[in-house]
Structures are given as C-alpha cells and as structure tokens.
Amino acid sequence: MPIQIASEAGLAEAQRIVIAEVMYTAEHSAPCINLVRKFRLNQDEKQITVPKVGQMAAANLADGQDITNSATIGMTSTDLTTGEVGLKCILTDKLLRQEQPDLFRVIGRQMGDAMARKKDTDIIALFSALNGGTTLGSANCTWTMAKLGAMIAYLKNKKAPFPIAVVQHPYAVYDLIAAMTLTPSATYPMPHGFSEDLLKDFWKLTVNRVPVFEDGNITPDSSDDAVGAIFSEEALCIVESLAPRTERERDASLRAWEVVVVGDYGCFELDDSYGAAVTIDAAAPATHS
C-alpha cells in the first residue's frame, strides 16, 4: 500500500522555491552580466566561433581610370567554450524540523547570490586585460566629471560601438557624484540598449549617452585603488551552456538532504579594442562631519 509522506511533498514544493530563488537572484544581483554580449551553447554544441571582419577603406577615383586596389574582408575569429561552476548545501532533517524560516528559500537566495557573484567577478577579472592592458585613470586618482568625459572620448575615438557602459566601485562613483549639483538619476534617464529592470539598482548617472554603474564586487587593492572599466557591449561576452540548475538528493544515513546548484558558462574578451580598464581611487568616504 503506497504511503504518502507530507514532508516529501513539502520538499518537492521547496525544490521549486530553490530554483525560483536561484534564478531570480542570479539574474538581478550582478550588473556586469547584463552589460556584455550573451551567447548560448545548445545541446550537442561544444564551442561557439565568433567571426569579426576588419574595416575596408574607400579611395578617391579619377574619371576613366580603373580601380586597381581591391579591399579585403580581414576576418578573424574567437573560439568560446564553457566550464562547470557550482556549489552544494546540506540540510539535516533535524534542522528542517526545528528551523522557523523556510530554509529552502533562504539557501536559494544564498546560492543565487553565489552564482551571480562568481559570474560577475569572472567578468571583472577581464577588465585589466582590455585593449592590451591599457589603463585610464591612475592610482590615487579621484574621479571627476572631466576625467569621465575624457574616458568616454577615448573609447569613442576607438570607434567602439554603442551601447557603452562604465563600471566602478561604489566609493569611486560616490566621489564622482559628490561634486555634482544635481541628482543624476532624476536628470538623465538610462539610455536605450540596457535593461532597466535588471540594472536600475546599479545605475547612477548617464554622461554623453554612456551610463555609469556601480559594482560592489570590484575589490579595491591595499592602496584603496579599484580597477573598473569602460567598454562596449561588444568588448566582452558570457557564453552559457547550462543555466543554474538545482537538484536535491536524499542521504538517508546522514538523515539530510543535499541541494546542489550547477551552471556551465565561460567569460571572454570578444573584441579587445572596444574597452579599457579604469583605475580610480576608491577610499571609503567619511560618514561623519
């Protein structure tokens, strides 16, 4: 005779809660994920090869004379692959019986944060290599609107395609805003090409069609200098083969449930010339007069 166990049905419901929390949190917790190109590896695909063509040049012509030079496509390509990333959490039966909060919702939020933070920091790690290691700004450099404007002009001179974004540590963004006499978000709307739903909590201001985002996953060094970046969406990319997937497994002898989250992705430079690192002082501002 089949025996229906209430806790088993509850765990099935909890599994859906974990998945929902992981997916939502991972999607909304890291700005860099939503500022770069996204590619998807489908079933039975090992890698993506992204082609890039060079620029052709037109020349003046003389009437009655043949065109002697022919243009070349100048195609290059970048191979993109993925690797697995994940984590595991073990919840004992006793803990589930005695704990008041919905622990599956709690760990779903924590696991989602962990996966989002991992993706975000993987993208941040690519900043210092952009444009052959070119760095705008410098150590102990306080961010100003003039310097931000110069950084934007630098990337536009590189003919980087829009959308373009700037990402820096919150302390550096604070210094930028502190000297302004207006409320940036109330004056300049977020430009087209960015998801307001996913990025509104990180966006602070827009200058010359380029939005500035803050990212607390950027870690200042021992001298309080932080390495952010200014880059086109075409400069960096994330390739995903498997979105974060949640599974649970019963360990009877341990009297516990294992909850495992695994994703399969990779972060890459797509076009090195369309971005540059931005090194700015990110010392903690004074919180008292």
| 54-68, 171-185, 235-249: range with highest mean pLDDT | 235-249
* Average pLDDT value for the chain: 80
According to the model, what pLDDT value does residue 3 have? Answer: 38
In a domain, 87, yes or no: yes
In a domain, 56, yes or no: no
Q: Is 37 exposed, middle or buried (0-12, 13-18, 19+ CB in 10 A)?
A: middle
221's enclosing H/E stretch is none
Query: Under 8 Å CB-to-CB from 237, ≥6 apart: which residues?
Result: 36, 37, 38, 39, 50, 80, 267, 268, 270
Residue 7 sits at φ, ψ, to 5 deg, of -65, -35
Query: What is the per-residue pLDDT across 209-233, written as a single tens digit (0 to 9) for each?
Result: 899 999 999 999 999 999 999 999 9
Residue 188 sits at φ, ψ, to 5 deg, of -115, 115
Least confident of 56-60, 219-223, 236-240: 56-60
User: Strand pairing partners for 256?
Assistant: 92, 251
Q: How many domains is the chain built from? A: 1
According to the model, what pLDDT value does residue 6 have? Answer: 40
According to the model, what pLDDT value does residue 21 have? Answer: 61
Query: What is the per-residue pLDDT across 92-108, written as a single tens digit (0 to 9) for each?
Result: 888 877 766 677 778 88
pLDDT value at 50 more than 90: no
CA distances from 203 to 163, 169, 170, 199 (A): 14, 12, 11, 6
In a domain, 61, yes or no: no
Which segments of the chain does DSSP mark as H helices, in order? 6-28, 93-98, 103-124, 145-157, 170-178, 184-187, 196-199
In a domain, 62, yes or no: no
Pairwise CA distance, residues 50 & 79, whole Å: 6
Query: What is the per-residue pLDDT across 122-143, written as a single tens digit (0 to 9) for each?
Result: 999 999 999 888 899 998 988 9
Of residues 254 and 16, which shows the higher confidence score? 254
According to the model, what pLDDT value does residue 196 have? Answer: 73
Pairwise CA distance, residues 158 & 179, whole Å: 29
Q: What is the 8-class DSSP label of residue 216?
A: T
Least confident of 30-39, 80-89, 102-111: 102-111
pLDDT value at 38 more than 70: yes
- Asked if 228 and 176 count as a contact pair (C-beta separation under 8 A), the reply is no
Pairwise CA distance, residues 214 & 168, whole Å: 5
According to the model, what pLDDT value does residue 71 have? Answer: 72
pLDDT value at 188 more than 70: no
In a domain, 68, yes or no: no
In a domain, 242, yes or no: yes
pLDDT value at 5 more than 70: no
Reported confidence tier of residue 154, pLDDT bands at 50, 70, 90:
very high
* Average pLDDT for 4-26: 53
In a domain, 184, yes or no: yes
Maximum distance among all Cα pairs of the chain, rounded to whole angstroms = 96
According to the model, what pLDDT value does residue 20 have? Answer: 61
| 44-48, 69-73, 98-102, 210-214: range with highest mean pLDDT | 210-214
Residues spanned by the domain of 40: 1-51+76-289
- Asked if 235 and 160 count as a contact pair (C-beta separation under 8 A), the reply is yes
According to the model, what pLDDT value does residue 128 have? Answer: 92
According to the model, what pLDDT value does residue 15 have? Answer: 54
On the CB side of 170, CA atoms within 13 Å amount to 8
Reported confidence tier of residue 147, pLDDT bands at 50, 70, 90:
very high
Quick one: CA dihedral 137, 141, 146, 148, positive or negative?
positive
Query: Under 8 Å CB-to-CB from 166, ≥6 apart: which residues?
Result: 148, 151, 152, 210, 211, 212, 213, 228, 229, 230, 278
Residue 31 sits at φ, ψ, to 5 deg, of -70, -35
Task: Give me the CATH number covering residue 138.
Answer: 3.90.1690
In a domain, 57, yes or no: no
